């Protein structure tokens, strides 16, 4: 077993060797290196064929028409194109947008930008489980609402929103529905013939494809229009210009094709590993699971260890590559905005760890992790004045803390 052990599959995944092999065949002079937009020779035709096969593979995983897939540089660009593209195209119809406080920053920051341009955005609170209450969502609908953007699977807590039900509501009210599916494609079933989703963002690197490539699904029936954000040669039917990156696209196509074949078996195995990890930790005192456990992808466990600060725990767990879910490890010292939106108090938001498992996680690695976590929780609680006070029966809320 090699350390550190990778438990951050929600951040990114390694490229599957089968995907890497396909990508390599699109780079060098003896491979499919042509420009897919070159219509005048065989090099271009071959590259175009490879790109179109990948488009079919991506569309097949989510049961869409290949003509509904637009290549982008990743889910962040897809979110930007969907939200700003719809807002700019349909602004004469209305200028109100609804989203949720637990969305990815690519959605939230696109909405903030639109607010600066004069749009009005409603940021909904999720339930304490992390899920959206449909009645509360419906209550936010207005005559000038043009777009609802709700993610399928949350990146920090892994909960699955009922996008099928939300799609029924938005379609009935003729509101466009965008879904960020960066964390769900290949992990939760998606059927776009059945779900009334109008726009859906995808990423390759979350499911064993390369970084730097993604796609946006744009529904044809009923037709959804977008104002392009990137102008140029009119690629991707004018919605996103720029020479197509054949090797990246082929990698994404292969990753999505493999996901379609292996999702069921992968999910079953990963669920077993996740439950093994949870079983190994759940009897520790003052442990809280963040987010609904039932409506959740199998590869995510987000857990708070009360009275232990997340960053110091991550430092102790140097053999495990995990993230705190809180932004403490980045330059900001704010606790996770996702956990705050669930109504978790600051202490628990400061004490969270996100474990995300994947295709290459093993049982041995899980058992090693359990042992390390248990030992270090004990060690850090021995150091924690809050733990000592808790053990002495002191209510921490009764103390007047000096916020700094």
Residue 158 · residue 302 · CB < 8 Å: yes
CB of 281 to another protein, least distance (A): 20
Nearest distance from C-beta of residue 404 to another protein, angstroms: 6
Q: Would you count residue 309 as binding another protein (CB under 8 A)?
A: yes
With binding defined as CB under 8 A, does residue 312 bind another protein? yes
Q: Would you give the binding string for another protein spanning residues 141-180, x where CB under 8 A is met?
A: ----------------------------------------
Out of 335, 336, 344, 352, the only residue in the binding site for another protein (CB under 8 A) is: 335
User: Can you list the alpha helix ranges (DSSP code H) found in 205-334?
Assistant: 246-281, 310-316
Q: Kindly identify the residues of this chain, within the stretch 374-393, that bind another protein according to CB under 8 A.
A: 382-388
Please count the other Cβ atoms lying within 10 Å of the Cβ belonging to residue 269.
Answer: 17
In the complex, minimum distance from the CB of residue 340 to another protein, in angstroms, rounded to a whole number? 11
Torsion of CA 212, 107, 215, 209, to 10 degrees: 40
Residue 296 binds to another protein (criterion: CB under 8 A): no
Which residue in the set 107, 147, 239, 328 belongs to the binding site for another protein (CB under 8 A)? 328
| Of 70, 77, 97, residue with least CA distance to 86 | 97
Asked if 331 touches another protein (CB under 8 A), the answer is yes
Torsion angle of alpha carbons 76, 79, 84, 89, nearest 10°?
140
Asked if 353 is part of the footprint of another protein (rule: CB under 8 A), the reply reads no
Minimum CB separation from another protein for residue 150, in Å?
29
Q: How many Å apart are CA 358 and CA 341, to the nearest integer?
A: 27
Backbone angles phi, psi at 360, to 5 degrees: -110, 10
Is 401 near another protein (CB under 8 A)?
Answer: yes
Catalytic residue set: 328
CA distance 84 to 134: 24
User: Among 266, 256, 250, 322, which residue's Cα sits nearest to residue 4?
Assistant: 322
Near another protein by CB under 8 A: residue from 113, 347, 370, 372: 347
Residue 227 contacts another protein per CB under 8 A: no
Nearer to another protein, 9 or 307 (CB): 307
Angle formed by the axes of helices 363-383 and 246-281, nearest 10°: 60
Encoded tokens for 319: 């053999």
Q: Nearest 5°: CA angle at 159, between 248 and 361? A: 60
- Taking the least distance from each CB to another protein, the nearer of 346 and 364 is 346
Site residues (vs another protein, CB under 8 A): 307-312, 315, 328-329, 331, 333, 335, 345-347, 350, 382-388, 396, 401-404
């Amino acid at each position: 077993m090699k350390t550190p052990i990778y438990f951050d599959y929600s951040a990114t995944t390694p490229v599957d060797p089968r995907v890497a092999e396909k990508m390599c065949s699109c780079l060098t002079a003896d491979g499919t290196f042509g420009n897919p937009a070159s219509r005048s020779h065989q090099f271009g035709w071959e590259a175009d064929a490879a790109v179109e096969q990948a488009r079919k593979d991506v569309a097949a995983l989510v049961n869409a028409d290949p003509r509904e897939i637009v290549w982008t540089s990743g889910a962040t660009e897809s979110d930007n194109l969907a939200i700003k593209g719809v807002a700019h195209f349909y602004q004469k119809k209305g200028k109100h947008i609804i989203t949720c406080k637990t969305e990815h920053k690519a959605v939230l920051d696109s909405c903030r930008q639109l607010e600066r341009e004069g749009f009005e955005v409603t940021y909904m609170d999720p339930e304490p489980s992390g899920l959206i209450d449909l009645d509360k969502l419906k209550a936010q609908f207005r005559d000038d609402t043009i777009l609802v953007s709700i993610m399928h699977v949350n990146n920090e807590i892994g909960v699955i929103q009922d996008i099928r039900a939300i799609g029924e509501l938005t379609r009935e009210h003729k509101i466009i529905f965008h879904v960020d599916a960066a964390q769900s494609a290949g992990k939760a079933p998606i059927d776009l013939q059945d779900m009334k989703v109008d726009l859906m963002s995808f990423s390759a690197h979350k499911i064993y494809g390369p970084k730097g490539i993604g796609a946006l699904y744009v529904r044809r029936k009923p037709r959804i229009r977008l104002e392009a954000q990137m102008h140029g040669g009119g690629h991707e039917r004018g919605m996103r210009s720029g020479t197509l990156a054949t090797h990246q696209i082929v990698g994404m196509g292969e990753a999505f094709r493999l996901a379609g074949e292996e999702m069921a078996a992968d999910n079953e195995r990963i669920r077993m590993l996740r439950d093994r990890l949870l079983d190994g930790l759940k009897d520790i005192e003052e442990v809280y699971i963040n987010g609904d456990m039932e409506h959740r992808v199998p590869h995510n466990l987000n857990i708070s260890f009360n009275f232990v600060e997340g960053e110091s725990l991550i430092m102790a767990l140097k053999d495990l590559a995990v993230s705190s879910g809180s932004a403490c490890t980045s330059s900001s010292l704010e606790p996770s905005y996702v956990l705050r939106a669930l109504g978790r108090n600051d202490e628990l938001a400061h004490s969270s760890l996100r474990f995300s498992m994947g295709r290459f996680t093993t049982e041995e690695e899980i058992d090693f992790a359990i042992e390390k976590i248990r030992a270090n929780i004990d060690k850090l609680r021995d150091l924690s004045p809050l733990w000592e006070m808790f053990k002495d029966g002191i209510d921490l809320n009764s103390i007047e803390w000096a916020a700094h």
